[in-house]
Amino acid sequence: MIWAYLFIANVAMLAHFGFLAFLIGGGFWAWSRPWLLVPHLVTAGWGFGIETWHWTCPLTELEQWARRSAGQPGLEPTGFIDTYIKGTMYPAELNPQVLALVAAVVLASWVGLGVRLGLRRRRRDLGATAAAPPSPARDTLGATTNRPGGGSHVNVIEGTNQRNVAVVTGASSGIGEASARALAEQGWTVVCAARRTDRVEAVADEIGGVAVTLDVTDQGSVDGLVARLDELDRPVDLLVHVAGGAFGLDPVADAKVEDWQKMLELNVVGSLRVVQAMLPLLRRAPAAQIIMLTSTAADVNYEGGGGYCAAKHGEAALTRTLRLELSGEPIRVCEIAPGMVATPEFNLVRFDGDSDKAAATYEGVDRPLDEHDVARGVVWAATAPAHLNVDLMVLRPVAQAAQHKVFRGHLYDDDVR
């Protein structure tokens, strides 16, 4: 039976060490599991009572009985602490200092837990405000804010009915402009960022937003965007990165190196600059989102599209890698990949202003997508609940069954919407 008594004694000893570990660290564990606070308070009270007023500890009594039953000497007269810790981990005369240190650590854990629970409560209150009934108001930057009752995305400033700030790049025309307008209608204060100052200022003025001149191929310009956002002193919880473009439709054998360089610099390196600059701002928000506009060309190649496909492959790789790297943070990373979209300028730029070539792309296609169709997708992803991530949203017109299969002919009567 001796082995049984020793087994009980050793279990009691290990339980004692676990008791001490929980006494010191339980408050920190409660940061992620608040229900642990109550047993930790009991443990801390009991532990300090045992050491300060020499209360009788049941574990000490159990180990004493088991060791003596096994024919071994019992614990020191003052119990577990004197036997196993004093003189081994620290001299007995340091007991008051050690007690004070343990007390300080325990109190620090409680203070940290209180702060964390306070922040959690604040985030919950923000979410409740975001889901409140519509309440139109004029925010401090001049934007009308209407919060949709169905939206549960956490983007309303506490104590106000103001939504946070959304940054839209490429906002002077096309998908970027349409997205900026659509988000403003949903109540965001939109920072419209684009290269053409006059155009982006006009858009921002019309929607009550803020205009910033931005060239994503210039690091100084990107830094200027962040500086302007810091001046607003408002939470930024949404980045919609649209800025990009295509140049030329030449086969690989005849492609201009400078066209490929421009596409890679604009679509890939420019995206990297913007994401790197914006991440510190987005991380300050209770919940944030990055929406990257790539293309179906990111996954399917086509003749003449080598440079553009390579650039969009790169941008998609950046986006999908970023989602993996931000795992564990409350930041959603969404990729929206449009197919055939007949925007006013995309193909004009691609074909160096040749309107005939630009129009031929959509010739005979019954209702290709336009910029407003894509903006609907942006708003849908942006207003989804904070826990719901749209990894990839592919948008194509019905006439485009695949990248390489486009129906050119009549599909819809005029009254079909």
Mean pLDDT is highest, among 98-107, 141-150, 275-284, for 275-284
State how far the Cα of 266 lies from the Cα of 86, in Å rounded to an integer.
Answer: 66
- DSSP string computed for 68-99: HHTT-----TT-HHHHHTBTTTB-GGGHHHHH
Kindly tell me if the per-residue pLDDT of 118 is higher than 50: yes
Averaged confidence pLDDT in the chain = 84
In angstroms, what CA-CA distances link 97 with 20, 91, 104, 109? 16, 11, 10, 18
The pTM of this model reads: 0.63
What was the pLDDT predicted at 414?
Answer: 83
Give residue-wise pLDDT tens across range 135-168: 333 333 333 333 333 343 444 444 333 468 999 9
Average pLDDT rounded to a whole number, residues 99-117: 83
> How many residues does this entry show for the chain?
417
State how far the Cα of 193 lies from the Cα of 214, in Å rounded to an integer.
Answer: 5
How many distinct helices (H) and strands (E) make up the chain?
Answer: 14, 11
For strands 400-402 and 405-406, give the pairing.
antiparallel
Q: Is 84 a catalytic residue?
A: no
Kindly tell me if the per-residue pLDDT of 321 is higher than 90: yes
| Residue at token pair 């964390």 | 116
pLDDT higher for 166 or 111?
A: 166
Topology, domain 136-406: Rossmann fold (3.40.50)
State how far the Cα of 361 lies from the Cα of 347, in Å rounded to an integer.
Answer: 8
At residue 147, what are phi and psi to the nearest 5 degrees?
A: -85, 120
Average pLDDT rounded to a whole number, residues 241-251: 90
Give residue-wise pLDDT tens across range 335-389: 999 999 987 777 667 777 777 777 788 888 999 999 999 999 999 999 999 999 9
151's tokens: 């939206």
Least confident of 125-129, 130-134, 223-227: 130-134
Q: What count of Cα atoms within 13 Å lies in the side-chain half-sphere of residue 216?
A: 28
What was the pLDDT predicted at 122?
Answer: 55
State how far the Cα of 311 lies from the Cα of 306, in Å rounded to an integer.
Answer: 9
Instruction: Identify the CA nearest to 336 among candidates 192, 178, 195.
Output: 178
Kindly tell me if the per-residue pLDDT of 415 is higher than 50: yes
Residue ranges of alpha helices (H) inside 30-92 are: 37-53, 58-69, 80-84
At residue 113, what are phi and psi to the nearest 5 degrees?
A: -65, -40
Q: In the chain, list all ranges with CATH 3.40.50.720.
A: 136-406
Of 84, 302, 308, 412, which residue is the catalytic one?
308
Average pLDDT rounded to a whole number, residues 204-214: 95
State how far the Cα of 166 lies from the Cα of 187, in Å rounded to an integer.
Answer: 10
Kindly tell me if the per-residue pLDDT of 132 is higher than 80: no
254's tokens: 């005849």
State how far the Cα of 151 lies from the Cα of 186, in Å rounded to an integer.
Answer: 9
State how far the Cα of 40 lies from the Cα of 80, in Å rounded to an integer.
Answer: 20
pLDDT higher for 68 or 330?
A: 330
What was the pLDDT predicted at 190?
Answer: 96
pLDDT higher for 88 or 374?
A: 374
Instruction: Identify the CA nearest to 166 among candidates 324, 318, 285.
Output: 285
What was the pLDDT predicted at 164?
Answer: 81
The helix (H) or strand (E) run that includes residue 368 is none
SS3 264: helix
The helix (H) or strand (E) run that includes residue 370 is none
Average pLDDT rounded to a whole number, residues 111-138: 53
Kindly tell me if the per-residue pLDDT of 195 is higher than 90: yes
Kindly tell me if the per-residue pLDDT of 105 is higher than 90: no
* pLDDT bracket for residue 121 (50, 70, 90): low
At residue 387, what are phi and psi to the nearest 5 degrees?
A: -90, -5
Whether 336 contacts 395, CB under 8 Å: yes
What was the pLDDT predicted at 135?
Answer: 35
What was the pLDDT predicted at 99?
Answer: 82
| Letter string b/e over residues 154-182, b meaning 16 or more CB atoms within 10 A of that residue's CB | bbbbeeebbbbbbbbbbbbbbbbbbbbbb
State how far the Cα of 93 lies from the Cα of 228, in Å rounded to an integer.
Answer: 59
What was the pLDDT predicted at 191?
Answer: 97
Give residue-wise pLDDT tens across range 36-69: 888 888 888 888 887 777 778 888 888 888 888 8
| Crossing angle for the helix pair 58-69 and 2-29, to the nearest 10 degrees | 160
